[in-house]
């Protein structure tokens, strides 16, 4: 999530937590803040259709660039940032009028297809002197074809975002009815990469609904190289913590409901631009919480790998999986538990 959707303290805390465990964080659709760049050992710069905060100098400061074509919760649609979150600083970074609702664009203004994407990737490589990898992020819809087109355009990394992606910055009809589940998307992406001879060469990062070590292990077993998390990281920082229950009740919510992100009134100081609320989040403490969560997430996934007889998480494979429902077996392309049957593929 972007600076604007999140507070500067939250962005700093995300950088601190990710750096403590040796992983990366991402700017989101709002530009690069000094707080996040200063605390992130590895920072991925998101290059979105809106171009909010886009600055070639910031591109050169990044450790990777992620060209966003779609998000899992709203593929084909743009997002919304309500006016109460567009403060003087946010307005300056995004070149927007203060206090006015803004909708992010749903498509890039300077290309219409994969050939134009290839030109854009070349342009970004030239801007950064060919020093950083280029990610392409797609919302899980026509996954098989989108992955092939992105690889052909020259992507180093594919970021695949399933429909469980947690953003609420769009219409309910998008959140509930557009996109496909992460579990169904991964096998399609892996198949596309394998057919091109690029699996494990072009890396596959999976996001959308990743919450615990079991989610990580399943994604890795299905063929992902890594996972990305969003909402779970905000919970780790302290968002929707029960200690703010009385504060949530004042705004007509309750701890655990996650319906305060867009309003800018988050009592925990995470999804807000209110100076008084922002001050409630200590970036150092938030960073420690996030680092603890990421360490536990990793240990859980490693434990499951060991239980499967593997000495490395990256050695998990589809043969380590079975499904408990016919629907899950069909989507993940693994056998139904107790059988050798994969629905749609015979015995």
Contact 230, 1 (CB under 8 A): yes
- Per the structure, the count of domains in the chain is 2
Provide the 8-state DSSP code for 159: E
φ and ψ of 24, to 5 deg: -110, 165
234 and 342 together in one domain? no
Higher-pLDDT residue of 233, 75: 233
- Please give the helix or strand (H or E) that residue 143 lies within, else none: helix 143-153
Say if residue 106 is in the same domain as residue 226: yes
Residues 181, 239, single domain; the answer is yes
Say yes or no: 49 and 195 in one domain.
Answer: yes
Same domain, 279 and 345: no
Same-domain status, 279 and 185: yes
Q: Is 2 within a domain?
A: no
pLDDT at 78: 77
CB 318 within 8 A of CB 233: no
Task: Check: CB of residue 205 under 8 Å from CB of residue 44.
Answer: no
Residue 48 scores a pLDDT above 60: yes
> Looking at the domain assignment, is residue 97 inside a domain?
yes
Q: Are residues 329 and 253 both part of a single domain?
A: no
Instruction: Determine which of 107-121, 151-165, 322-336 has the lowest per-residue pLDDT on average.
Output: 107-121
- In terms of pLDDT, which residue wins out, 240 or 196? 196
pLDDT score, position 41: 97
Burial class (CB in 10 A: 0-12, 13-18, 19+), 243: exposed
pLDDT(230) > 60: yes
Q: What is the pLDDT of residue 259?
A: 60
Strands 203-207 and 157-161: parallel
Banded pLDDT at 1 (limits 50, 70, 90): confident
Nearest to 321 by CA among 226, 219, 242: 219
| Residue 229 belongs to a domain | yes
Cα-only R_g, the chain: 20
Q: Where are the alpha helices (DSSP H) in 168-212?
A: 172-177, 182-195
Contact of 75 with 178, CB cutoff 8 Å: yes
Q: Does 1 reside within a domain? A: no
Secondary structure of residue 229 in the 3-state scheme = coil
| CA–CA distance, 143 with 309 (Å, rounded to integer) | 31
pLDDT the model gives residue 133: 98
Q: Can you tell me the mean pLDDT for 98-124?
A: 89
**Quick one: pLDDT at residue 310?**
97
Pairing of strands 80-81, 102-103: antiparallel
Q: Is 188 or 167 the better-scoring residue by pLDDT? A: 188
More confident residue, 237 or 50: 237
Model pLDDT for residues 7-42, shown as the tens digit of each residue: 999 999 999 999 999 999 999 888 899 999 999 999
| Residue span of the structural domain in which 226 resides | 8-316
In the chain, the N- to C-terminal Cα span, in Å, equals: 43
Q: Give pLDDT, residue 255.
A: 81
Closest residue by Cα to residue 33 from 20, 14, 19, 50: 14
Q: Indicate if 339 and 299 belong to the same structural domain.
A: no
Residue 290 burial (CB count, 10 A): 27
Residue 168 pLDDT: 61
* Residue 281 lies inside a defined structural domain of this protein: yes
Q: Is 299 part of a structural domain of the chain? A: yes
- 77 domain residue, yes or no: yes
- Tell me how far apart the alpha carbons of residues 205 and 228 are, in angstroms, rounded to a whole number: 7
Angle between helices 8-20 and 283-307 in degrees, nearest 10: 40
CATH number at residue 154: 3.20.20.70
302 & 329 share domain:
no
Residue 3 is assigned to a structural domain of this protein: no
The pLDDT tens digits for 309-347 are 999 999 999 999 999 999 999 999 999 999 999 998 865
CA distance 44 to 305: 28
Please tell me whether residues 103 and 122 are part of one structural domain. Answer: yes
pLDDT of res. 345:
85
Contacts of 276 (CB under 8 A, 6+ apart): none
In the predicted model, what is the mean pLDDT of the chain? 91
Q: 328 and 188 in one domain?
A: no
Same-domain pairing of 245 and 338 = no
Q: Which CA distances in Å does 263 have to 27, 60, 91, 240, 241?
A: 21, 33, 17, 14, 17
* From 50-64, 110-124, 228-242, 243-257, the region with the lowest mean pLDDT: 243-257
The pLDDT of residue 295 is 98
CA–CA dist 104, 51 (Å, integer)? 9
According to the model, what pLDDT value does residue 167 have? 63
pLDDT in tens, 244-267: 889 888 888 888 776 656 677 889
Interval 176-197: pLDDT, tens: 888 899 999 999 999 999 999 9
Model pLDDT for residues 62-82, shown as the tens digit of each residue: 999 999 998 888 888 877 778
Cα atoms found within 13 Å of the Cα of residue 322, Cβ hemisphere only: 9
């Amino acid at each position: 999530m972007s600076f604007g959707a999140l507070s500067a303290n939250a962005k700093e805390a995300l950088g601190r937590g990710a750096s403590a465990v040796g992983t990366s964080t991402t700017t989101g659709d709002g530009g690069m803040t000094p707080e996040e760049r200063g605390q992130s050992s590895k920072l991925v710069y998101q290059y979105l259709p809106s171009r909010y905060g886009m600055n070639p100098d910031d591109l050169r400061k990044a450790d990777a660039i992620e060209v966003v074509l779609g998000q899992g919760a709203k593929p084909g649609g743009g997002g919304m940032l309500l006016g109460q979150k567009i403060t003087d600083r946010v307005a300056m970074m995004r070149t927007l009028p203060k206090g006015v609702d803004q909708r992010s664009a749903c498509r890039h203004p300077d290309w219409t297809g994969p050939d134009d994407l290839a030109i854009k990737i070349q342009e970004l490589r030239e801007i950064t002197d060919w020093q950083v990898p280029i990610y392409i992020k797609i919302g899980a819809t026509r996954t098989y074809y989108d992955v092939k087109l992105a690889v052909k355009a020259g992507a180093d990394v594919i970021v695949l975002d399933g429909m469980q992606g947690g953003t609420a910055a769009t219409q309910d009809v998008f959140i509930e009815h557009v996109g496909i589940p992460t579990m169904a998307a991964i096998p399609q992406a892996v198949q596309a990469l394998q057919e091109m001879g690029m699996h494990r060469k072009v890396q596959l990062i999976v996001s959308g609904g990743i919450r615990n070590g079991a989610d990580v292990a399943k994604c890795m077993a299905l063929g992902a190289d890594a996972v990305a998390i969003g909402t779970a990281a905000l919970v780790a920082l302290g968002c929707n913590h029960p200690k703010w229950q009385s504060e949530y009740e004042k705004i007509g919510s309750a701890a655990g409901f996650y319906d305060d992100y867009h309003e800018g009134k988050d009592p925990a100081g995470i999804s807000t631009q209110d100076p008084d609320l922002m001050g409630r989040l200590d970036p150092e403490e938030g960073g420690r919480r996030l680092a603890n969560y990421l360490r536990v997430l990793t240990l859980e996934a490693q434990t499951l790998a060991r239980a499967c007889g593997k000495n490395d998480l990256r050695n998990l494979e589809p043969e380590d999986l079975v499904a408990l429902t016919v629907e899950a077996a069909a989507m993940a392309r693994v056998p139904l538990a107790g059988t050798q049957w994969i629905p749609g593929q015979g015995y």
